[in-house]
Amino acid sequence: MLIVNQKQIHELPSNIKLGNKKLSIYGIGFVGTAIASTWLRAGASIIAVDKKRKLVNEINNKKITNSEPKAKEAFLEGINNKKLIATSNGKWASKNSDIKIISVPVGLDKRTADLRFLYEVVDDIITGLKKDDIIIVTPTVPIGTSTKIIKLIENKTKLSVEKDFFFIYNPERISAGQAISDIENNYPPILSGSGKTSIKIANKMFGIISSKKPIIMSCTEAAEAEKLIEGLYRDVNIALANELSVFCEKLGIDFWEIRDAANSQPYSQLHKPGIGVGGYCIPVYPWLLTQTAIDKGINVNFPLLGRYTNEKMPEYSVNRIMSKIGKKKNITALILGLSFRGNVADNRISPTYDVVKELMKKKVKIRVHDPFFDYDPLLPKQVKLSCELDKVISGVDVIIISTDHNEYKEIDEEYIIKKSKKKPMIFDGRNILNQDDFKKLKILTIGK
């Protein structure tokens, strides 16, 4: 029976909560975990699908290691209530679910979108796609991707969208450390679909998990563009702040003083400069948008100008540090922070990796501290990583703050001198220290 009338759409939330409509969620990484947790908290029955067999076994054996707030509790309750099962068999999951949510990552391959995982999931879904099934795509993708997916499904299954199956594009809008709250309360969901019925279904479904009124987009292309532009806004504005901070530095004036004054005017919203921009979102989006522009023969320059500016900040920061150190040999540097932003255990595309590369070019010995990490295979073997500051601070010549973890904001000058047994220079790449509290140590900050 097709979901085509108001009564059937109206009953969809209760059918989801009763388990009459089962959800499969493809990709149980950061995004998929948050999405699965949110639906579990709403009472849905979930098939969690991931290619990593170790992760699947851990979930089924109640060994939940994800650090996202509320996620572990949601998964454990789901397993105990027999509302959650994990599998690596995407085809089986498709056959045994009515609503398929795709949350696999879209990365870059030579600065173009790497859609392999996305299309692998689509192929799995196709093998089990039934009439009335609903497909929801959540990753940030190049504009036009949803339309291509719909055509692929129609060609391979001979099913018709809006008649035999329904398609929704709902770009995720979440941040590490608050992902579940972002879905449930913080931001309105962006919804688009293949037609009016898909939109009605989306509106009804997301009313289950979100307290915010959805924003309905006119087409999937508009929703895809919205997500890219939302992230691009941040990237280019951070780039502007970075470029202006370097400009002010060279003039011998304080960018941070200027920023505070400028932002007292409501139309000025200068972002904060920093040692680099990380995460799996902002550094990727300019390339996805540019890819569409190139494909369509459209000239778009500003996003990449901003991206290049932000990518140069680790190199600029290290060069500035080395210029202050001078000709001193056998330098040991301690980088504070491996996470790409403060107070989360998330090191995806962290600028710290680029800082490490630049320091290695200068033959600097490197140590890294982060309270959330004691092992990282992405770091070179000669780089010592610890989650205990006391183990890596002794004897360092320079301390580089790369991440704005709260504990770094409270770091004490006397502690540094005592534990390092030196008076190391500090490069505050996030401008989180109160320089008035440091009388004995030299502090450099971007923009000052």
Residues 265-303 have pLDDT tens digits of 999 999 999 999 999 899 999 999 999 999 999 999 999
pLDDT band at 7 (very low <50, low <70, confident <90, very high): confident
Asked if residue 3 has pLDDT above 70, the reply is: no
What number of other Cβ atoms are within 10 A of residue 367's Cβ?
Answer: 20
**Residue 47 neighbours by CB under 8 Å, 6+ apart:** 22, 23, 24, 25, 85, 86, 87, 93, 96, 97
pLDDT confidence of residue 39 = 98
Asked if residue 440 has pLDDT above 50, the reply is: yes
The whole-number average pLDDT for the span 307-321 is 98
Angle between helices 196-209 and 30-41 (to 10 degrees): 80
pLDDT confidence of residue 4 = 57
The whole-number average pLDDT for the span 185-192 is 98
- Phi-psi domain of 162 (left: phi exceeds 0; alpha: psi -120 through 50; beta: other): left
Give span(s): CATH 3.40.50.720, the chain. Answer: 6-218
- pTM of the shown model: 0.92
The fold of 227-310 is: N-(1-d-carboxylethyl)-l-norvaline Dehydrogenase; domain 2 (1.10.1040)
Give span(s): CATH 1.10.1040.10, the chain. Answer: 227-310
Superfamily of domain 6-218: NAD(P)-binding Rossmann-like Domain (3.40.50.720)
Q: pLDDT over 70 for what percent of the chain?
A: 99
